[in-house]
Amino acid sequence: MSGTRPRPKHWTAGTSGPVPYVHQPLPLAFVNGSVVGEAGPILQGLPSTARGSELEGGVLLSLASPDGPVSSTSFRLGKLPAPSRFLALGLTSVWWMTPAWGSCASWVPLETQFLLLELPEGAGCAVLLPLLSNHGTFRASLAGSGPGSEDPALHLHVDSGDAGVMTQTWTDVFYIAAGKEVYPLVDAAVATAGRLSGGARPRTSKAVPDFVDTFGWCTWDAFYYDVTPAGILDGVQALQVGGINPGFVIIDDGIQEHHPGLDPSELSVAEFLDAPEHRATNHGQRLLTVKANSKFRGLGKPRSLALNEAGGKLGPVVDKIKDMGVRHVIAWHALCGFWGGLSDELGEQYEAELIMPDPPANLLALNPETAWIPPSVAGVRIPRDPTALHTDMHAYLAGCGVDGVKVDVQSTLGLLGGATLAGAYNDSLEASVARHFPGNQLINCMCHSTVNLYRFSQSNLARASDDFWPLIPASHTAHIANCAYNSAFMGALVVPDFDMFHSRHPAALMHATARVVSGGPVYVSDRPGAHDFDLLRRIVLRDGSTLRTLSPGRPTPDSLFADVCRDGKSLLKVQSWNATGAVVAAFNLQGAAYDRSRRAFHVHDASPPRLTAGVGVHDVPGLAARCSGLPVIAYCDADEELTVLRDSDAEEVRVSLTAGGSCLVTLAPVLAAGGVSLAPVGLVNMLNVGGAVLGWTWGAAAPAAAPSAEIRVRGSGTLLCWASREPARLSLPASASQNLTWQFDDQHGALRITIPDMPDIEQDICIAF
């Protein structure tokens, strides 16, 4: 599969799938130590050693140190236009990014990897991207001079991550571009940054793993390290009993044999710990073998839950999972084998060495805990060349029938050897996945440093944020914001994965809504029997597939520069495309956020207000051009209201949400033929209503006085259309014996058609007027 799905067989000219972006660059130039454009300066007062060259409408900068060769240093880059609202995406730990907002250069947080500026007077946007320089050996990041600084300037930090790798000049270290439309600009600029830094290719040019179009179940929150074959089989069966057929299963951490292990008494204590502490228990431990641990000796419940005993036989477990109808089994491992790397014994086989990280000063300033996380305290034993390790791990898993891998702990490599070592590991990983798991079956995780992101030349799926923490209420709204804003950047390179959630949970509907608009996989980590099947049936079709949107779920243009967790007035709106229209999800996420000063999720307002916002065609880049001023139908799932936006360029629907509330607005363009206007909206029994309409067309041979339309629908239930008049008859061409029933609301033009559950999940519906 390509990064964008192939066009369906049935489609209407001008309404099928996402509009190809047309980037309208605002040319920039390097003039007298400043980067300037038609709208004025973007960055003023660059260092005297700065050199700039024009590239693809932007400016590529190189810098030199007056102090001789160094392994790390910082430069005062200069000043931004003021006032200029910005969105900054920066690391908050070794592994994860979160968004920040402001209007002054001094407010840009440490370790910023993506900076989007709003240019004055609506001229457009600029994007500032620190790169991997000098053939991928140095990583750059941005930071402001700090709140209250007398010199509100932007700074660039460069670091090799290895005291032995030094230089005095950094070629192609920073890229700036500008454009009239934000996402065409971002996609073009990030593609350039990826190519210059480490060979990362755009999302749209890479294969998408086929399991992302199916519903999944992950073992992590269900069992944590206590995962067993019996538990996995119970989890699949519990979903199937409720009519939900998972298409993929992720066997998360707990499958490998590592040292030192936990005895059953320690595991009993661990059951009472909250998820964050529970997860931390194995982070200093090391891999003993590439094979599964002793819990996987058979299909039943093991006598011991110890993780340091040999003898696991994973193959029969995978076979049994697939015998139950699951198509894809994904197995977890760390990029360096396990959290702490390899044991002494296994390390000898792969010529591994113990590396004690020396965390860079700016990362310690950002998060002092970096000095005492397990890799920093105990070190990590790894081989400099991971090719043989990855080959052996993946050959074993593939031989057991495993279809792909979820690879965690990726950005730890930046601590161990900087961009050079991290690049070697990501290159090895992608090469091994290509050999052992055809179809690009790889989930990248804990990978938000650009030492990893800018090496994704083949892989096309990555986690968009830190974990979903079911027991930390302050994280539940912030998780969605982090996923959406990180996807503004990451969506240029990969399909974003918004992580698992729980279907039976106080925040379940909000998280389900976010997942179905994300453009990525939808999966849960419910404990067996702890399911909300009514909610799951709005996500999953009977064959285990989902109605995945066709583009990454990203903030609408008017949401990009709003702090939707703290400002007390803004809803987050996330937009994506379906085959014949678009969808906008709205969320009230006010009240809690990730707090950089506390280095934790924090509730700052226990009673956030109800908020209202408009949703319209203008929220989806490219949709206005597609509609060409024609009417558009808006359907809001929260109130089940259908609205005709006759002036689609100006009109919108209003949505009002309490704290923690969410809704989905489906936008379906209206087309006319023979005096009749029609817009198929979708299956209203599904969360992504419009995702059920794969395409539609007016009958070419129909007389003008009696037009007919054919709609291809995926799934069953109630198909909602808007029509200017009631049809004369409806039929299923593939089933002459099957009659369709419908109801027509003449006042509102709402046509509701009952689509029966047929052997084929996809049906062609013929509507004759």
Task: Give the end-to-end CA distance of the chain in Å, rounded to a whole number.
Answer: 37
User: Rounded to whole angstroms, how far apart are CA atoms 635 and 640?
Assistant: 7
Across residues 632-640, what is the average pLDDT? 97
Relative to beta strand 522-524, strand 215-218 is parallel
The burial class, CB within 10 Å (0-12 / 13-18 / 19+), for 273 is middle
- Give the CA radius of gyration of the chain: 26
User: Rounded to whole angstroms, how far apart are CA atoms 464 and 480?
Assistant: 10
Query: Longest Cα pair distance anywhere in the chain, in angstroms?
Result: 84
Q: Using the 8-state DSSP alphabet, how is residue 485 labeled?
A: H
Cβ atoms of 153 and 473 within 8 Å: the answer is no
Cβ atoms of 82 and 45 within 8 Å: the answer is no
Q: Locate 178 and state its tokens.
A: 């500008």
Give the model confidence (pLDDT) of 563-603 as tens digits. Answer: 999 999 999 999 999 999 999 999 999 999 999 999 999 99
What are 406's strand-pairing partners? 332, 443
Report the residue count for the chain. Answer: 769
Across residues 687-701, what is the average pLDDT? 92
Give the model confidence (pLDDT) of 33-88 as tens digits. Answer: 999 998 889 999 999 999 999 999 999 999 999 889 999 999 999 999 877 899 99
User: Rounded to whole angstroms, how far apart are CA atoms 737 and 735?
Assistant: 5
Query: Residue 703: which pLDDT band, with cuts at 50, 70 and 90?
Result: low
Q: Locate 311 and state its tokens.
A: 């003898």
H helices of 82-180, where? none
Relative to beta strand 352-355, strand 58-64 is unpaired
pLDDT at 646 exceeding the cut of 50 = yes
Return the percent helix, strand and coil in the chain, to nearest 5.
Answer: 25, 30, 45
Q: Locate 245 and state its tokens.
A: 């057929």
pLDDT at 280 exceeding the cut of 60 = no
The more confidently predicted of residues 633 and 674 is: 633
Host H or E run for residue 317: helix 314-323
Where is average pLDDT lowest: 89-98, 120-129, 275-284, 482-491?
Answer: 275-284
Closest CA relative to residue 105, chosen from 164, 30, 157, 43? 43
Q: Write the secondary structure of 503-534 as one string of H (helix), E (strand) and C (coil).
A: CCCCCHHHHHHHHHCCCCCEEECCCCCCCCHH
Location of structure tokens 């700036």:
176
Closest CA relative to residue 733, chosen from 707, 700, 762, 754? 762
Closest CA relative to residue 239, chosen from 325, 153, 178? 325
Host H or E run for residue 421: helix 412-436
pLDDT at 702 exceeding the cut of 80 = no
Please state, as a whole number, how many other Cβ atoms lie within 10 Å of the Cβ of residue 333. 23
Query: Residue 18: which pLDDT band, with cuts at 50, 70 and 90?
Result: confident
pLDDT at 266 exceeding the cut of 80 = no
Closest CA relative to residue 127, chosen from 118, 140, 115? 115
Closest CA relative to residue 339, chosen from 255, 412, 403, 396? 412
Cβ atoms of 39 and 123 within 8 Å: the answer is yes
pLDDT of residue 67: 87
Could you tell me which residues come within 8 angstroms of residue 402 by beta carbon, excluding any fewer than 6 positions away? 314, 318, 329, 330, 331, 437
Cα–Cα distance list, 361 to 72, 110, 366 (Å): 10, 11, 9
pLDDT at 2 exceeding the cut of 50 = no
Could you tell me which residues come within 8 angstroms of residue 130 by beta carbon, excluding any fewer than 6 positions away? 112, 113, 139, 140, 141, 142, 156, 173, 174, 450
What is the tally of helices (H) and strands (E) in the chain?
16, 45
The more confidently predicted of residues 380 and 275 is: 380
Cβ atoms of 487 and 464 within 8 Å: the answer is yes
Question: For residue 566, which phi and psi values (nearest 5 degrees)?
Answer: -125, -20
* Order of strands across the sheet that contains 248-251: 495-497, 461-463, 442-444, 404-408, 328-334, 248-251, 215-218, 522-524
To the nearest whole number, what is the mean pLDDT of the chain?
Answer: 92
Question: For residue 603, which phi and psi values (nearest 5 degrees)?
Answer: -90, 115
User: Rounded to whole angstroms, how far apart are CA atoms 444 and 437?
Assistant: 14
User: Rounded to whole angstroms, how far apart are CA atoms 269 and 525?
Assistant: 21
User: Rounded to whole angstroms, how far apart are CA atoms 240 and 521?
Assistant: 19
The hierarchical CATH code for the domain 214-463 is: 3.20.20
Please state, as a whole number, how many other Cβ atoms lie within 10 Å of the Cβ of residue 430. 20
pLDDT at 427 exceeding the cut of 50 = yes
Cβ atoms of 576 and 13 within 8 Å: the answer is no
pLDDT of residue 260: 63
pLDDT of residue 259: 78
User: Rounded to whole angstroms, how far apart are CA atoms 644 and 590?
Assistant: 30
Segments of the chain assigned to CATH 3.20.20? 214-463
pLDDT of residue 726: 97
Give the model confidence (pLDDT) of 320-353 as tens digits. Answer: 999 999 999 999 999 999 999 999 999 999 999 9
Query: Residue 705: which pLDDT band, with cuts at 50, 70 and 90?
Result: low
pLDDT of residue 307: 52
Cβ atoms of 239 and 245 within 8 Å: the answer is yes
CA angle 609-613-614, nearest 5°?
170
Across residues 633-645, what is the average pLDDT? 96
pLDDT of residue 524: 99
pLDDT of residue 23: 85
The burial class, CB within 10 Å (0-12 / 13-18 / 19+), for 265 is exposed
Please state, as a whole number, how many other Cβ atoms lie within 10 Å of the Cβ of residue 193. 30
Give the model confidence (pLDDT) of 156-215 as tens digits. Answer: 999 999 999 999 999 999 999 999 999 999 999 999 999 999 999 999 999 999 999 999
Give the model confidence (pLDDT) of 348-406 as tens digits. Answer: 999 999 999 989 888 999 999 999 899 999 999 999 999 999 999 999 999 999 999 99
pLDDT of residue 736: 64
Q: Locate 111 and state its tokens.
A: 């370790």
Cβ atoms of 286 and 258 within 8 Å: the answer is yes
Across residues 121-143, what is the average pLDDT? 96
pLDDT at 426 exceeding the cut of 90 = yes
